[in-house]
Amino acid sequence: MKKNKPKYHQIIDAAVIAIAENGYHQAQVSKIARQAGVADGTIYLYFKNKEDILISLFQEKMGTFVEKTSENIQTKSKAADQLRLLVENHFTLLTEDPHLAVVTQLELRQSNKELRLKINEVLKSYLLLIDQILQHGINSGEFRDSLNIRLARQMIFGTIDEMITTWVMNDQKYDLAASAQEAAEMLLNGFSMKKE
Amino acid sequence: MKKNKPKYHQIIDAAVIAIAENGYHQAQVSKIARQAGVADGTIYLYFKNKEDILISLFQEKMGTFVEKTSENIQTKSKAADQLRLLVENHFTLLTEDPHLAVVTQLELRQSNKELRLKINEVLKSYLLLIDQILQHGINSGEFRDSLNIRLARQMIFGTIDEMITTWVMNDQKYDLAASAQEAAEMLLNGFSMKKE
Amino acid sequence: MKKNKPKYHQIIDAAVIAIAENGYHQAQVSKIARQAGVADGTIYLYFKNKEDILISLFQEKMGTFVEKTSENIQTKSKAADQLRLLVENHFTLLTEDPHLAVVTQLELRQSNKELRLKINEVLKSYLLLIDQILQHGINSGEFRDSLNIRLARQMIFGTIDEMITTWVMNDQKYDLAASAQEAAEMLLNGFSMKKE
Amino acid sequence: MKKNKPKYHQIIDAAVIAIAENGYHQAQVSKIARQAGVADGTIYLYFKNKEDILISLFQEKMGTFVEKTSENIQTKSKAADQLRLLVENHFTLLTEDPHLAVVTQLELRQSNKELRLKINEVLKSYLLLIDQILQHGINSGEFRDSLNIRLARQMIFGTIDEMITTWVMNDQKYDLAASAQEAAEMLLNGFSMKKE
DNA sequence: TATGAATGAGATTTCATTCAT
DNA sequence: AATGAATGAAATCTCATTCAT
């Protein structure tokens, strides 16, 4: 299994840096190789092609994130708290790795449709996690019965994504994590029982 | 003024189709020219370079949309109604021009950072329109005083954008406009007075 | 006859300026037309193609020069004086028209082999004039009998040309005509009887 | 160092042939590559761009020539003999490499001003060599004290250059080297003491 | 395993020339 | 005679991938 060898991760981390520093289209395989301290050809011993590096990058980083977040939210019993934690975890992840933030929010989106479809495949587990929280909230009576889960999920993901992208575009110069609670509250407000 | 000549719009419309059908990187200038029914060189009588076509495309289509929507919402006195109209207009625009939907949601995002910055410039007027609605809602007492406008704007735009992108990625096979009202309600719910 | 119409010379003079100011490869037909104050298409009513402008330019300017010089030197009886006059006339011509100097010494040499062959054709009458002076000098006993005319002609033309080119490359900033007599003397020295 | 690898010289030699046979503007990179027996892209492993091939070509060929000639003339003690050797060496170099003669005398002069400035830079060492001979001749009393070195240098270079160019334009069909001695004598004659 | 030299397909843009008005 | 909008051919250079060592 290639994934267990140190060079596999070495190359992925090099790709994150190379893309963040040079931009998607200027991050040639040779630059990634140089950043990783290996020869160009070595890349192809660990990855099928350039696209494979990018998908693997996303899988490794996002996959790990979803797993951890999934575990984290099990510690909370209320859906509201779970959502709060999810937003916070997401913001914290990218705040702690500025290169990764640039890569996922700006650079990787320049990839072609085919690659983006594969990235979406990876994102599905994240969207599923959101769905679980929403379903749990409906079951527990925190959210209203009539909540359209697909719509709510798109609102959550769209909001988080837009917030992060704006923050990255502004050179990450303000404290993103500080807005996590407020964003969660506003979302939750939209999902709650109608007041009469 | 080049913009008043028929070939200017002819080429822009051809670009939308060529990009939608072939993808961003496969929409060569020669393909756009063929689609427009002009020679390759003619393109350069109306546009400085290829990037200029894409910027102009976005300005013409999105600029027109923002203008019209801006006028439309003046007919509504309540901020809630204005937001409902905004969402509906946006969904309708792209539902009625499937090619344009593909281009704005998927293909144009593959452009380089420089082009995306120019696109964002155009988007600013749209975000400003959203801000106006939100401010109006606060002033009229429809939305709570403490509403964080920047956050609310990101929620609105992020949600709309995510909904459209998902719809386009699913080959536009369901009725997007049908979700407009529901989406607007959920957003509005989040902005309303806290219930006790 | 096109050559008698004012626009013919208007276009040639415009070409000299356009080429001198923009360089050979940057002097597009449209620039020459603009400089001449006519439409692009008008050029083709007076010249077969772009090359034809350049050949005509050279013919008009150099042809006139050779004619005048030819007349001038008839006023001198000694070959040495004729040569002195020839050099002086050549230097004066280009000193008085800096644009023309740049065009003939630098820019027109960037043309392709075919055009340069045609330019050489025009130059032949100039070389013939030099030959006449040399033959006259031999006949009159001013130059030695054994003088190789072809060689002497190449020396004269090569020296003049190299002097002018260097002067143009140095932005015409020194007085070229001032060197005319000295250059002529040195050439004449080489042609004179061997001293014992 | 790229210059020590065999392909560097292989490509330069191919460029000389390709340019001589096709002309400057018809010697596309792909033709040079084919002539060199390498792929188009390989060219760019050894040269920055097409212009770099041409500059390097001139530097290698002319630079080597100046160096060798410089060494050669050290074997002669008299300035007159040194000049004779210089002319002979120059004529011999180009007589032995007809392709190179076409390239330096006709084709490379079609290059743009920027490239020609770089070529002139290389030529400076040649002109310096001529100056050394002239100065030596003055010091040794072979040439007259009052000799204008700049002028004499332009006469030497101009004459040699004109002779070669005419010879190349006439398809190199006569024996250029045979005229070397005669040309040198005529130049020397011009530099010698005035006879009384 | 690792290397890195070599490959070669592919696209934007310019500009001389034409021709309908 | 004059215009100028339209034409369309043509070439440099990049970079993902391979493969002999």
Q: Are A60 and A124 in contact (CB under 8 A)?
A: no
Tell me the shortest Cα–Cα distance from B23 to chain A, in angstroms. Answer: 8
- Please judge whether B186 and A120 are an interchain contact, meaning their C-beta atoms are less than 8 angstroms apart: no
Select from A112, A163, A191 the Cβ nearest to the Cβ of B158: A163
CA closest to E19 C1', residue: C41
> Residue A195 carries which DSSP code?
P
Q: Residues D76, D129: contact at Cβ < 8 Å?
A: no
Q: Which of C17, C47, C43 lies closest to C30 in space, CA to CA?
A: C43
pLDDT at C50 over 60: yes
Q: Tens-of-pLDDT digits for all 196 residues of chain B? A: 677 788 999 999 999 999 999 999 899 999 999 999 999 999 999 999 999 999 999 999 999 999 999 999 999 999 999 999 999 999 999 999 999 999 999 999 888 777 888 888 889 999 999 999 999 999 999 999 999 999 999 999 999 999 999 999 999 999 999 999 999 999 999 887 655 4
Q: In this model, does residue A82 exceed pLDDT 90?
A: yes
Given this model, what pLDDT does residue A193 score? 67
Question: Minimal Cα–Cα distance from A90 to chain B, Å?
Answer: 16
In 3D, which of B54, B41, B69, B86 has the Cα closest to residue B183? Answer: B86
d(CA D11, CA D57): 9
Domain B51-191 bears CATH identifier 1.10.357.10: yes
> Is C194 or B167 the better-scoring residue by pLDDT?
B167
Long-range Cβ contact pairs of B89-95 (< 8 A, separation 24 or more): B89/B65, B90/B65, B90/B160, B90/B164, B91/B160, B91/B163, B91/B164, B91/B176, B91/B177, B91/B179, B91/B180, B92/B177, B92/B180, B93/B65, B94/B164, B94/B168, B94/B176, B95/B172, B95/B175, B95/B176, B95/B177
Neighbours of chain B (3+ CB pairs under 8 A): A
CA dist C136 and C73 (Å) reads 12
pLDDT at C196: 41
Closest CA to C150 of D179, D51, B47: D179
- CA angle, corner D112, sides to D107 and D116, nearest 5? 75
Any idea what DSSP says for residue B177? G
CATH code for residues C50-191: 1.10.357.10
Residues of B with CB under 8 A from a CB of A: 23-25, 106-107, 109-113, 116, 120, 148, 151-152, 154-155, 157-163, 166, 169, 179, 182-183, 186-187, 189-192, 194-196
Whole-number Å distance between alpha carbons of A152 and A159: 10
Region C125-154 average pLDDT: 95
* Residues in A touching B151 (Cβ below 8 Å): 163, 179, 182-183, 186
For residue B136, what are its two tokens? 């109006």
Three-state SS at B16: helix
- D145 pLDDT above the threshold of 50: yes
CB-contacted nucleotides of strand F (7 Å): 1-20
Count of Cβ atoms closer than 10 Å to residue B112 Cβ: 13
Q: Regarding the domain with residue range C1-47, which homologous superfamily does it belong to in the CATH classification?
A: Homeodomain-like (1.10.10.60)
Architecture of domain D54-191: Orthogonal Bundle (1.10)
d(CA B161, CA B94): 11
Nearest nucleotide, CA A52 to C1': F16
Residue B164 distance to chain A (closest CA, Å)? 10
Pull the structure tokens for residue B142.
Answer: 């429809």
When scoring D116, D121, D153, D154 by the number of chain C Cβ atoms within 10 A, the one with the most, hence best to mutate, is D154
What percent of chain A lies above the pLDDT cut of 90? 84
| pLDDT value of position C22 | 92
Rounded Cα distance between B84 and B160, Å, is 12
Which two structure tokens, joined as six digits, stand for C66?
């050779």
CATH dotted code for A53-191: 1.10.357.10
Residues of chain A with C-beta less than 8 angstroms from the C-beta of B190: 186-187, 189-190
Please say whether the dihedral angle defined by the alpha carbons of residues A111, A116, A118 and A119, taken in this order, is positive or negative: positive
Q: Is residue D137 pLDDT above 80, yes or no?
A: yes
CA D42 to C1' F17, in angstroms, rounded, equals: 15
> What is the SS3 assignment for D143?
coil
What stretch(es) of chain A map to CATH 1.10.357.10? 53-191
Angle at B17 between CA A113 and CA B21, to 5 degrees: 40
Q: Can you tell me the distance from the alpha carbon of B84 to that of A151, in angstroms, rounded to the nearest whole number? A: 15
Q: Which of A140, A158, A138, A160 has the alpha carbon at shortest distance from A149?
A: A138
Residue type, D90: H
The whole-angstrom separation of Cα A138 and Cα A131 is: 11
Candidate from C104-108, D40-44, D163-167 with smallest mean pLDDT: C104-108
User: Residue D49 contacts by C-beta under 8 Å, 6 or more apart in sequence?
Assistant: none
Within chain D, all domains assigned CATH 1.10.357.10 are found at 54-191
Residues A164-186 have a mean pLDDT of 94
Q: pLDDT tens digit string along C158-186?
A: 999 999 999 999 999 999 999 999 999 99
Residue numbers in D near C189 (CB within 8 A):
189-192, 194
pLDDT digits 0-9 by tens, D53-80: 999 999 999 999 999 999 999 999 999 9
Q: What number is the average pLDDT over the span D133-148?
A: 94
In chain D, ranges of CATH 1.10.10.60 domains: 1-47
pLDDT digit string, tens, across residues B140-179: 999 999 999 999 999 999 999 999 999 999 999 999 999 9
The answer for D175, left when phi > 0, alpha when psi is -120 to 50, beta otherwise, is beta
Place of tokens 């539902």: B95
- In the numeric block, the tokens 């000098």 are attached to C137
* Residue of chain C with shortest Cα separation from D143: C186
Residue of D nearest to C194 (CA): D189
Q: What count of CB pairs under 8 Å joins C to D?
A: 100
Nucleotide nearest to A41 (CA to C1'): E3
* Chain A partners (3+ C-beta pairs within 8 A): B
**Band of residue A7 on the pLDDT scale cut at 50, 70, 90:** very high
Residues of D in contact with C51 (CB under 8 A): none
A25 touches strand F (CB under 7 A): yes
The answer to whether some atom of strand F lies closer than 7 Å to the beta carbon of D49 is: yes
pLDDT of residue B135: 97
The answer to whether A190 and B190 are in contact (CB under 8 A) is yes
Distance from CA of D192 to the nearest CA of C (A): 8
D178 has pLDDT over 60: yes
Within D32-149, strands assigned E span none
Rounded Cα–Cα distance for residues C135 and C147 (Å): 9
